[in-house]
Amino acid sequence: MHTPKQPIHPRHTALALGVASLLGLAAPAAMAAPPHYFFLTNCGDSGPGSLRSTIPFAASGDVITGANLNCSTITLTSGAIAVTQDNLQIISGKSTPLEITMGPPVADRVFTHTGAGTLELDQLKISGGYLTRANGNGVVAGGCVYSRGNVKLDHTGVYGCTATAYGNTANGGGIYALGTATLTYSTVSGNSAYLSYGSASRTSGSGGGIYAHGVTLTRSTVSGNSVGGHAANQGGYGGGIFSAGGSASASYSTISGNFAATYAGGAFLQNATPVKITNSTISGNSAAKKGGIYAHGLISVTIANSTIVGNSGCTSANYAAGLTVRFAAPSPLQGSLNLQSTLIANNTCGPNTENDLSVSGPGTLTGANNLVRISAASLPSDTITGPAACPLLGPLRNNGGPTWTHAMLSGSPGLAQGNNSAGLSWDQRTALFQRLSKAPPGGTAPAAPDIGAYEMQRDDIIFDTGFDGCPALIL
């Protein structure tokens, strides 16, 4: 369990605000520069000391804390909480999360942030948002959290939120940001951007979990989100994440079990540059095309010490089920994909058809010490590929650390065949799980770390039972 950060209170400001809140009085005038701390004392949806009534007193840069609450849940019954400040931080203030959930009778998102800065949510659980609009009413954006600026989550989860469109567009089932979305030790899970019946014209949705213009994941999980609709003309793009420009990065993170009706079950990265994925796992995502990660545009992509396995959905050699990179830059401009010590395998288009990596357009593919089981791309010469590249991994599960991983079993061809050009101290599981250089089993090659996000430790005892099998090699 990671201890959440606690506020450092300006003594006199905190005392005055706390007394005012306890007495149900209006907040006093600010006595010092922000941040000022406002203490919630009411677990209801209205009245003095409630979240809804306290937020208007705050200025940009202030902090709302639930440290004085005697409850673990705030249920909203009168619509979304409006946040007009450019920057505002809302925190639990305790060692356990404070849940803020949308309840009946109103169907709405939880937060609507109209400021130009950052809405930061710390040690919270945001849930139950449901936003919907009928034909002709524009984009339905942000099932739980909407921001005209940026959204930042720290030790926070966004769960079970839905943006539903009837004949128009739904983006960001969990989170929608016109700026960036930044997650640290956080989870976005079980959200959907859903397209219902209501129009004969083509409609689409993007970002079942997150829609933003730049996404950063650190020690975080995006799982079980979905985007799509009833009919063939209702497309869905980026089941877990849709990043429309900006930069995109994932470190020590997992993107798993997401679904898109059309492209990119895991993440759709549209003109997002640079893209950096390090010590991360992309697993079990599915889509009609490009099941795992799809990166498209004038882009620079670097993937190091990561695992991309068990994703599904592709229709040709140009649309891989694991990782698809399509450079769309006008000549002579070129994109780049650099793979270092990364494992890409067991990504399928059907029961016996595998395609792990595709690269197309004006760009270059470079790297070293990778395992790519099957690909039509021109791979670096030292890539472990073909029949010898069945990775022998354990199932996705809690192997320690903040995010789930696939353990590398003792017979894996990726064992002690990787590199640590990224200079990592730990594998995806972070502290206590070191990146180690080991001699390969039965060989005379130099010592090296393992390929992928998981590093087998010297005292590991892993039984080769229940591991992921490998499909037939048919492209």
3-state secondary structure 4-70: CCCCCCCHHHHHHHHHHHHCCCCCCCCCCCCCCEEECCCCCCCCCCCHHHHHHHCCCCEEEECCCCC
Q: Is the pTM of this model over 0.85?
A: yes
Question: What pLDDT is stored for residue 156 in this prediction?
Answer: 98
E strand segments, 346-430: 348-350, 353-354, 357-360, 363-368, 371-372, 393-397, 405-408
Mean pLDDT for each 10-residue chunk of the chain (475 residues)? 38 41 46 84 97 97 97 96 98 96 90 98 97 73 97 98 86 97 98 73 80 98 89 77 96 97 94 96 94 92 97 82 89 86 93 87 95 94 92 95 94 94 96 88 79 88 55 53
DSSP state of 330: P
What do you get for the CA distance between the two ends of the chain, in Å?
43
Question: What pLDDT is stored for residue 346 in this prediction?
Answer: 94
Helix (H, G, I), strand (E, B) or coil at 411: coil
Question: What pLDDT is stored for residue 203 in this prediction?
Answer: 60
Question: What pLDDT is stored for residue 197 in this prediction?
Answer: 58
Question: What pLDDT is stored for residue 7 in this prediction?
Answer: 38
DSSP state of 318: T
DSSP state of 388: G
Question: What pLDDT is stored for residue 5 in this prediction?
Answer: 38
Question: What pLDDT is stored for residue 469 in this prediction?
Answer: 65
Give me the sheet containing 124-127, strands edge to edge. 73-76, 98-102, 124-127, 157-159, 187-189, 221-223, 254-256, 281-283, 307-309, 343-345, 371-372
Chain centroid to CA 298: 22
Question: What pLDDT is stored for residue 136 in this prediction?
Answer: 53
